[in-house]
Structure 1
Amino acid sequence: MQKITQKQTKRENLLNKGVSLLMVQGFHGTGLKEILDAVQIPKGSFYSYFGSKEDFAAASITHYIAIYVERLQSYLEQSEGNALGAMERYVQETMRELEAIEFKGGCLLGNLMGEIGDTSGVCRMALKTALDCYRDAWELALSCAQREGSIRADKSAREMADLWINAWQGALLRMKIEHSTVPLKQCYDELLGGLFKA
Protein backbone atom coordinates (compact mmCIF):
# COMPACT_ATOMS: atom_id res chain seq x y z
CA MET A 1 0.00 0.00 0.00
CA GLN A 2 1.40 3.38 -1.01
CA LYS A 3 1.91 5.82 1.86
CA ILE A 4 0.21 9.19 1.46
CA THR A 5 2.61 12.02 2.21
CA GLN A 6 1.76 15.17 4.12
CA LYS A 7 2.27 17.16 0.92
CA GLN A 8 -0.25 14.96 -0.93
CA THR A 9 -2.74 15.41 1.91
CA LYS A 10 -2.31 19.19 1.83
CA ARG A 11 -2.67 19.22 -1.95
CA GLU A 12 -5.87 17.17 -1.64
CA ASN A 13 -7.19 19.61 0.99
CA LEU A 14 -6.38 22.54 -1.30
CA LEU A 15 -8.26 20.92 -4.17
CA ASN A 16 -11.29 20.06 -2.02
CA LYS A 17 -11.52 23.62 -0.74
CA GLY A 18 -10.80 24.99 -4.19
CA VAL A 19 -13.65 23.04 -5.74
CA SER A 20 -16.06 24.32 -3.04
CA LEU A 21 -15.07 27.94 -3.49
CA LEU A 22 -14.76 27.89 -7.29
CA MET A 23 -18.20 26.29 -7.50
CA VAL A 24 -19.87 29.07 -5.53
CA GLN A 25 -17.68 32.12 -6.20
CA GLY A 26 -16.19 31.37 -9.60
CA PHE A 27 -12.60 31.70 -10.76
CA HIS A 28 -12.38 35.48 -10.56
CA GLY A 29 -14.28 35.68 -7.28
CA THR A 30 -12.01 33.23 -5.49
CA GLY A 31 -8.74 34.51 -4.07
CA LEU A 32 -5.74 32.32 -3.38
CA LYS A 33 -5.39 33.76 0.12
CA GLU A 34 -8.93 32.68 0.94
CA ILE A 35 -8.19 29.09 -0.12
CA LEU A 36 -4.83 28.96 1.63
CA ASP A 37 -6.22 30.42 4.85
CA ALA A 38 -9.03 27.87 4.83
CA VAL A 39 -6.57 24.97 4.74
CA GLN A 40 -3.93 26.72 6.85
CA ILE A 41 -1.14 26.75 4.31
CA PRO A 42 1.17 29.80 4.12
CA LYS A 43 0.73 31.90 0.99
CA GLY A 44 4.32 31.38 -0.06
CA SER A 45 3.82 27.61 -0.09
CA PHE A 46 1.13 27.66 -2.78
CA TYR A 47 3.66 27.49 -5.62
CA SER A 48 5.17 24.29 -4.26
CA TYR A 49 1.81 22.69 -5.10
CA PHE A 50 0.69 24.56 -8.26
CA GLY A 51 2.45 26.74 -10.81
CA SER A 52 -0.30 29.37 -10.98
CA LYS A 53 -3.92 30.05 -10.10
CA GLU A 54 -4.89 28.73 -13.54
CA ASP A 55 -2.97 25.50 -12.90
CA PHE A 56 -4.79 25.21 -9.58
CA ALA A 57 -8.17 25.69 -11.27
CA ALA A 58 -7.25 23.09 -13.91
CA ALA A 59 -6.28 20.59 -11.18
CA SER A 60 -9.53 21.38 -9.35
CA ILE A 61 -11.49 20.58 -12.52
CA THR A 62 -9.73 17.21 -12.84
CA HIS A 63 -10.26 16.51 -9.13
CA TYR A 64 -13.95 17.42 -9.38
CA ILE A 65 -14.86 15.26 -12.37
CA ALA A 66 -13.00 12.20 -11.07
CA ILE A 67 -15.51 11.94 -8.22
CA TYR A 68 -18.50 11.82 -10.59
CA VAL A 69 -16.84 9.37 -12.99
CA GLU A 70 -15.93 7.06 -10.10
CA ARG A 71 -19.48 7.24 -8.75
CA LEU A 72 -21.03 6.29 -12.09
CA GLN A 73 -18.52 3.44 -12.49
CA SER A 74 -19.29 2.26 -8.96
CA TYR A 75 -23.01 2.15 -9.71
CA LEU A 76 -22.31 0.13 -12.86
CA GLU A 77 -20.16 -2.35 -10.94
CA GLN A 78 -22.85 -2.77 -8.27
CA SER A 79 -25.62 -3.21 -10.83
CA GLU A 80 -24.32 -5.97 -13.06
CA GLY A 81 -26.96 -6.72 -15.65
CA ASN A 82 -28.86 -3.47 -15.04
CA ALA A 83 -26.81 -0.60 -16.48
CA LEU A 84 -29.93 1.49 -17.11
CA GLY A 85 -30.85 1.15 -13.44
CA ALA A 86 -27.31 2.21 -12.50
CA MET A 87 -27.59 5.37 -14.62
CA GLU A 88 -31.02 6.13 -13.18
CA ARG A 89 -29.74 5.78 -9.59
CA TYR A 90 -26.75 7.99 -10.39
CA VAL A 91 -28.97 10.77 -11.77
CA GLN A 92 -31.44 10.49 -8.89
CA GLU A 93 -28.65 10.72 -6.31
CA THR A 94 -27.18 13.75 -8.06
CA MET A 95 -30.58 15.48 -8.03
CA ARG A 96 -31.05 14.73 -4.32
CA GLU A 97 -27.63 16.22 -3.56
CA LEU A 98 -28.42 19.37 -5.54
CA GLU A 99 -31.75 19.76 -3.75
CA ALA A 100 -30.01 19.30 -0.38
CA ILE A 101 -27.64 22.21 -1.08
CA GLU A 102 -30.50 24.30 -2.47
CA PHE A 103 -29.07 24.31 -6.01
CA LYS A 104 -26.02 26.39 -5.02
CA GLY A 105 -23.06 25.99 -7.30
CA GLY A 106 -24.55 23.69 -9.88
CA CYS A 107 -21.72 22.08 -11.84
CA LEU A 108 -18.14 23.31 -11.66
CA LEU A 109 -17.58 22.43 -15.32
CA GLY A 110 -20.56 24.42 -16.58
CA ASN A 111 -19.74 27.36 -14.33
CA LEU A 112 -16.12 27.58 -15.45
CA MET A 113 -16.92 26.92 -19.12
CA GLY A 114 -19.01 30.07 -19.05
CA GLU A 115 -16.56 32.12 -17.02
CA ILE A 116 -13.09 31.24 -18.36
CA GLY A 117 -13.58 28.54 -21.00
CA ASP A 118 -12.51 30.88 -23.79
CA THR A 119 -9.98 33.04 -21.91
CA SER A 120 -7.69 30.51 -20.20
CA GLY A 121 -6.01 27.96 -22.43
CA VAL A 122 -4.94 25.84 -19.44
CA CYS A 123 -8.45 25.71 -18.01
CA ARG A 124 -10.07 25.23 -21.42
CA MET A 125 -7.98 22.10 -21.98
CA ALA A 126 -8.75 20.83 -18.45
CA LEU A 127 -12.47 21.42 -19.06
CA LYS A 128 -12.35 19.64 -22.43
CA THR A 129 -10.50 16.68 -20.92
CA ALA A 130 -12.95 16.53 -18.00
CA LEU A 131 -15.97 16.61 -20.33
CA ASP A 132 -14.43 13.93 -22.54
CA CYS A 133 -13.76 11.76 -19.48
CA TYR A 134 -17.33 12.23 -18.25
CA ARG A 135 -18.69 11.53 -21.74
CA ASP A 136 -16.59 8.34 -21.92
CA ALA A 137 -18.06 7.13 -18.61
CA TRP A 138 -21.57 7.69 -19.96
CA GLU A 139 -20.65 6.01 -23.24
CA LEU A 140 -19.53 2.92 -21.32
CA ALA A 141 -22.73 2.87 -19.25
CA LEU A 142 -24.91 3.32 -22.33
CA SER A 143 -23.06 0.62 -24.29
CA CYS A 144 -23.55 -1.80 -21.36
CA ALA A 145 -27.27 -0.99 -21.39
CA GLN A 146 -27.35 -1.51 -25.17
CA ARG A 147 -25.88 -5.01 -24.74
CA GLU A 148 -28.52 -5.70 -22.09
CA GLY A 149 -31.26 -4.56 -24.47
CA SER A 150 -32.61 -1.64 -22.39
CA ILE A 151 -31.12 1.14 -24.56
CA ARG A 152 -31.69 1.48 -28.29
CA ALA A 153 -28.97 0.11 -30.55
CA ASP A 154 -29.67 2.12 -33.71
CA LYS A 155 -27.67 5.06 -32.33
CA SER A 156 -24.12 4.74 -31.08
CA ALA A 157 -23.44 4.95 -27.36
CA ARG A 158 -20.99 7.79 -28.16
CA GLU A 159 -23.69 9.85 -29.90
CA MET A 160 -26.10 9.38 -27.02
CA ALA A 161 -23.39 10.14 -24.43
CA ASP A 162 -22.57 13.41 -26.22
CA LEU A 163 -26.26 14.32 -26.34
CA TRP A 164 -26.65 13.47 -22.64
CA ILE A 165 -23.69 15.67 -21.61
CA ASN A 166 -24.92 18.59 -23.73
CA ALA A 167 -28.47 18.39 -22.42
CA TRP A 168 -27.47 17.75 -18.80
CA GLN A 169 -25.10 20.75 -18.72
CA GLY A 170 -27.85 23.00 -20.05
CA ALA A 171 -30.32 21.58 -17.53
CA LEU A 172 -27.86 22.27 -14.69
CA LEU A 173 -27.60 25.92 -15.73
CA ARG A 174 -31.40 26.27 -15.87
CA MET A 175 -31.64 24.57 -12.47
CA LYS A 176 -29.46 27.30 -10.98
CA ILE A 177 -31.70 30.14 -12.12
CA GLU A 178 -34.97 28.32 -11.48
CA HIS A 179 -33.91 26.85 -8.12
CA SER A 180 -35.56 23.62 -9.14
CA THR A 181 -34.60 20.15 -10.34
CA VAL A 182 -37.42 20.28 -12.91
CA PRO A 183 -34.98 20.90 -15.82
CA LEU A 184 -32.89 17.93 -14.66
CA LYS A 185 -35.96 15.72 -14.36
CA GLN A 186 -37.05 16.75 -17.86
CA CYS A 187 -33.61 15.88 -19.24
CA TYR A 188 -33.71 12.53 -17.43
CA ASP A 189 -37.28 11.70 -18.50
CA GLU A 190 -36.84 12.74 -22.14
CA LEU A 191 -33.50 10.99 -22.69
CA LEU A 192 -32.97 8.05 -20.32
CA GLY A 193 -36.70 7.49 -19.93
CA GLY A 194 -37.63 8.22 -23.54
CA LEU A 195 -35.36 8.82 -26.54
CA PHE A 196 -32.61 6.45 -25.43
CA LYS A 197 -34.81 3.54 -24.41
CA ALA A 198 -35.06 0.42 -26.53
Structure 2
Amino acid sequence: MPAATRNTDTRRTILDTARRIMAHKGYSAVGINEVLAAAGVPKGSFYHYFTSKDAFGEAMLRSYFADYVADMDAVLARSGQSAAERLMAYWQQWRETQSAEGCQGRCLVVKLGAEVSDLSEAMRLTLKEGTSTIVDRIERTITDGLADRSLSVDDDPRAVAQALYDMWLGASVMCKIHRSLAPLDTATAVTRKLLGL
Protein backbone atom coordinates (compact mmCIF):
# COMPACT_ATOMS: atom_id res chain seq x y z
CA MET A 1 0.00 0.00 0.00
CA PRO A 2 1.46 3.41 -0.94
CA ALA A 3 2.47 5.64 1.98
CA ALA A 4 -0.03 8.36 0.97
CA THR A 5 -2.91 5.87 1.04
CA ARG A 6 -1.73 4.44 4.36
CA ASN A 7 -1.52 7.98 5.83
CA THR A 8 -5.02 8.83 4.57
CA ASP A 9 -6.40 5.56 5.97
CA THR A 10 -4.74 6.12 9.36
CA ARG A 11 -6.00 9.70 9.52
CA ARG A 12 -9.52 8.52 8.68
CA THR A 13 -9.31 5.78 11.32
CA ILE A 14 -8.35 8.36 13.96
CA LEU A 15 -11.22 10.67 12.94
CA ASP A 16 -13.81 7.88 12.83
CA THR A 17 -12.69 6.54 16.20
CA ALA A 18 -12.81 10.00 17.75
CA ARG A 19 -16.27 10.62 16.34
CA ARG A 20 -17.59 7.42 17.88
CA ILE A 21 -16.05 8.12 21.31
CA MET A 22 -16.95 11.82 21.40
CA ALA A 23 -20.55 11.12 20.40
CA HIS A 24 -20.82 9.45 23.83
CA LYS A 25 -18.43 11.45 26.02
CA GLY A 26 -18.15 14.91 24.49
CA TYR A 27 -15.06 16.73 23.30
CA SER A 28 -13.34 17.91 26.48
CA ALA A 29 -13.76 14.60 28.28
CA VAL A 30 -11.81 12.71 25.62
CA GLY A 31 -8.04 12.83 25.49
CA ILE A 32 -5.98 12.30 22.39
CA ASN A 33 -4.31 9.24 23.95
CA GLU A 34 -7.71 7.59 24.43
CA VAL A 35 -8.55 8.11 20.76
CA LEU A 36 -5.16 6.87 19.55
CA ALA A 37 -5.31 3.77 21.77
CA ALA A 38 -8.82 2.93 20.54
CA ALA A 39 -7.71 3.50 16.93
CA GLY A 40 -4.61 1.35 17.38
CA VAL A 41 -2.33 4.20 16.34
CA PRO A 42 0.99 4.92 18.13
CA LYS A 43 0.79 7.87 20.52
CA GLY A 44 3.66 9.79 18.98
CA SER A 45 2.09 9.93 15.54
CA PHE A 46 -0.83 12.27 16.33
CA TYR A 47 1.02 15.43 15.31
CA HIS A 48 1.99 13.80 12.03
CA TYR A 49 -1.70 13.98 11.09
CA PHE A 50 -2.93 17.05 13.02
CA THR A 51 -1.17 20.24 14.13
CA SER A 52 -3.22 20.60 17.34
CA LYS A 53 -6.26 19.24 19.16
CA ASP A 54 -8.29 22.12 17.70
CA ALA A 55 -7.16 21.25 14.15
CA PHE A 56 -8.06 17.65 14.92
CA GLY A 57 -11.51 18.69 16.20
CA GLU A 58 -12.11 20.78 13.10
CA ALA A 59 -11.06 17.87 10.85
CA MET A 60 -13.32 15.49 12.77
CA LEU A 61 -16.31 17.81 12.32
CA ARG A 62 -15.56 18.29 8.61
CA SER A 63 -15.39 14.52 8.18
CA TYR A 64 -18.65 14.12 10.10
CA PHE A 65 -20.48 16.69 7.96
CA ALA A 66 -19.14 15.20 4.72
CA ASP A 67 -20.53 11.79 5.69
CA TYR A 68 -23.77 13.26 7.05
CA VAL A 69 -24.48 15.29 3.92
CA ALA A 70 -23.68 12.30 1.68
CA ASP A 71 -26.23 10.22 3.63
CA MET A 72 -28.74 13.08 3.53
CA ASP A 73 -28.28 13.49 -0.22
CA ALA A 74 -28.93 9.78 -0.73
CA VAL A 75 -32.26 10.06 1.09
CA LEU A 76 -33.29 13.31 -0.58
CA ALA A 77 -32.43 12.02 -4.06
CA ARG A 78 -34.55 8.87 -3.94
CA SER A 79 -36.42 8.36 -7.18
CA GLY A 80 -40.12 7.67 -7.41
CA GLN A 81 -40.99 9.79 -4.38
CA SER A 82 -42.35 13.30 -4.07
CA ALA A 83 -40.22 15.95 -2.41
CA ALA A 84 -42.49 15.76 0.65
CA GLU A 85 -41.99 11.99 0.90
CA ARG A 86 -38.22 12.37 0.59
CA LEU A 87 -38.15 15.10 3.22
CA MET A 88 -40.25 13.06 5.65
CA ALA A 89 -37.94 10.07 5.01
CA TYR A 90 -35.04 12.29 6.07
CA TRP A 91 -36.80 13.25 9.31
CA GLN A 92 -37.65 9.57 9.92
CA GLN A 93 -33.98 8.68 9.49
CA TRP A 94 -33.08 11.46 11.94
CA ARG A 95 -35.56 10.05 14.45
CA GLU A 96 -34.12 6.55 14.12
CA THR A 97 -30.55 7.82 14.50
CA GLN A 98 -31.34 9.97 17.52
CA SER A 99 -33.39 7.26 19.23
CA ALA A 100 -30.49 4.79 19.06
CA GLU A 101 -28.85 3.57 22.25
CA GLY A 102 -31.44 4.86 24.70
CA CYS A 103 -31.77 8.25 23.01
CA GLN A 104 -28.02 8.83 23.07
CA GLY A 105 -28.02 9.45 19.32
CA ARG A 106 -25.01 9.96 17.13
CA CYS A 107 -25.42 13.57 16.03
CA LEU A 108 -22.23 15.49 16.78
CA VAL A 109 -24.04 18.82 16.41
CA VAL A 110 -26.36 17.80 19.25
CA LYS A 111 -23.55 16.37 21.36
CA LEU A 112 -20.77 18.89 20.75
CA GLY A 113 -22.41 22.07 19.42
CA ALA A 114 -22.60 24.17 22.56
CA GLU A 115 -19.40 22.74 24.06
CA VAL A 116 -16.98 23.29 21.19
CA SER A 117 -18.50 26.58 20.04
CA ASP A 118 -17.21 28.06 23.30
CA LEU A 119 -13.81 26.35 23.05
CA SER A 120 -12.70 26.96 19.48
CA GLU A 121 -13.61 29.55 16.88
CA ALA A 122 -12.42 27.20 14.11
CA MET A 123 -14.73 24.43 15.32
CA ARG A 124 -17.61 26.88 15.75
CA LEU A 125 -17.19 28.04 12.17
CA THR A 126 -17.02 24.43 10.96
CA LEU A 127 -20.29 23.73 12.78
CA LYS A 128 -21.84 26.86 11.28
CA GLU A 129 -20.76 25.87 7.76
CA GLY A 130 -21.90 22.27 8.18
CA THR A 131 -25.30 23.14 9.60
CA SER A 132 -25.83 25.75 6.89
CA THR A 133 -25.18 23.06 4.29
CA ILE A 134 -27.83 20.87 5.90
CA VAL A 135 -30.35 23.73 5.96
CA ASP A 136 -29.54 24.40 2.28
CA ARG A 137 -30.55 20.81 1.45
CA ILE A 138 -33.78 21.10 3.43
CA GLU A 139 -34.61 24.41 1.73
CA ARG A 140 -33.96 22.94 -1.71
CA THR A 141 -36.26 20.01 -0.97
CA ILE A 142 -39.00 22.32 0.30
CA THR A 143 -38.67 24.36 -2.91
CA ASP A 144 -38.92 21.12 -4.92
CA GLY A 145 -42.01 20.21 -2.90
CA LEU A 146 -43.64 23.52 -3.73
CA ALA A 147 -42.91 22.87 -7.40
CA ASP A 148 -44.31 19.33 -7.38
CA ARG A 149 -47.16 20.45 -5.08
CA SER A 150 -46.48 17.70 -2.57
CA LEU A 151 -46.22 20.24 0.27
CA SER A 152 -47.10 23.82 1.07
CA VAL A 153 -45.58 26.37 3.43
CA ASP A 154 -46.77 29.74 4.72
CA ASP A 155 -43.32 31.33 4.81
CA ASP A 156 -40.14 31.61 2.77
CA PRO A 157 -38.64 28.12 2.17
CA ARG A 158 -35.34 29.17 3.80
CA ALA A 159 -37.07 30.37 6.95
CA VAL A 160 -39.10 27.15 7.16
CA ALA A 161 -35.99 25.03 6.55
CA GLN A 162 -34.10 26.84 9.32
CA ALA A 163 -37.04 26.57 11.73
CA LEU A 164 -37.40 22.84 11.04
CA TYR A 165 -33.70 22.16 11.54
CA ASP A 166 -33.60 24.20 14.74
CA MET A 167 -36.69 22.39 16.04
CA TRP A 168 -35.20 18.95 15.31
CA LEU A 169 -31.92 19.87 17.02
CA GLY A 170 -33.83 21.02 20.08
CA ALA A 171 -36.03 17.93 20.07
CA SER A 172 -32.91 15.76 19.90
CA VAL A 173 -31.45 17.49 22.95
CA MET A 174 -34.74 17.02 24.83
CA CYS A 175 -34.82 13.36 23.77
CA LYS A 176 -31.41 12.91 25.45
CA ILE A 177 -32.51 14.77 28.58
CA HIS A 178 -35.78 12.88 29.02
CA ARG A 179 -34.61 9.53 27.55
CA SER A 180 -37.86 9.61 25.64
CA LEU A 181 -38.87 9.74 21.98
CA ALA A 182 -41.77 12.10 22.76
CA PRO A 183 -39.88 15.26 21.67
CA LEU A 184 -39.08 13.63 18.32
CA ASP A 185 -42.70 12.55 17.92
CA THR A 186 -43.77 16.15 18.57
CA ALA A 187 -41.18 17.40 16.07
CA THR A 188 -42.58 14.98 13.46
CA ALA A 189 -46.15 16.21 14.02
CA VAL A 190 -45.17 19.88 13.89
CA THR A 191 -43.06 19.22 10.77
CA ARG A 192 -46.07 17.73 9.02
CA LYS A 193 -48.15 20.80 9.95
CA LEU A 194 -45.49 23.27 8.79
CA LEU A 195 -45.24 21.46 5.46
CA GLY A 196 -49.00 21.27 5.01
CA LEU A 197 -49.06 17.46 5.06
- Normalization by structure 1: what TM-score? 0.90
The CA distance in 2 between the partners of 1:38 and 1:139, in whole Å, is 38
The CA distance in 1 between the partners of 2:123 and 2:38, in whole Å, is 23
| Deviation of the 1:47 alpha carbon | 1.2
Q: What secondary structure does 2:119 align onto? A: coil
- The answer for unaligned runs of 5 or more in structure 2 is none
The CA distance in 2 between the partners of 1:8 and 1:125, in whole Å, is 24
Matched, 1:54 2:54: yes
The CA distance in 1 between the partners of 2:97 and 2:148, in whole Å, is 29
Tell me the residue number matched to 1:177: 177
- Map Cα deviations across residues 69-98 of structure 1 (whole Å, 9 max, x no partner): 222211222235511111212221232233
Contact 2:91 2:188 in 1 (8 A): yes
The CA distance in 1 between the partners of 2:96 and 2:153, in whole Å, is 30
Q: Which amino acid aligns with 2:194?
A: L
Matched, 1:87 2:90: no
Shift of the 7–106 alpha-carbon distance from structure 1 to 2, 3 Å rule, reads closer
| Deviation of the 1:187 alpha carbon | 1.1
Shift of the 105–131 alpha-carbon distance from structure 1 to 2, 3 Å rule, reads same
Q: Higher mean Cα deviation, 152-161 or 181-190?
A: 152-161
- Map Cα deviations across residues 149-198 of structure 1 (whole Å, 9 max, x no partner): 1222542221111111111111110000111221112112112x102227
Tell me the residue number matched to 2:196: 197
Q: Higher mean Cα deviation, 143-152 or 163-172?
A: 143-152
- Normalization by structure 2: what TM-score? 0.90
Q: Which amino acid aligns with 2:11?
A: R
The CA distance in 2 between the partners of 1:6 and 1:74, in whole Å, is 28
Tell me the residue number matched to 2:37: 37
- Map Cα deviations across residues 9-58 of structure 1 (whole Å, 9 max, x no partner): 11111111111111111111011001111111112211121111111111
May I ask how many residue pairs the two structures share in their alignment?
194
Q: Which amino acid aligns with 1:79?
A: S
Note the aligned Cα RMSD (angstroms).
1.8
| Deviation of the 1:113 alpha carbon | 1.9
Q: What secondary structure does 1:102 align onto? A: helix
Matched, 1:146 2:126: no
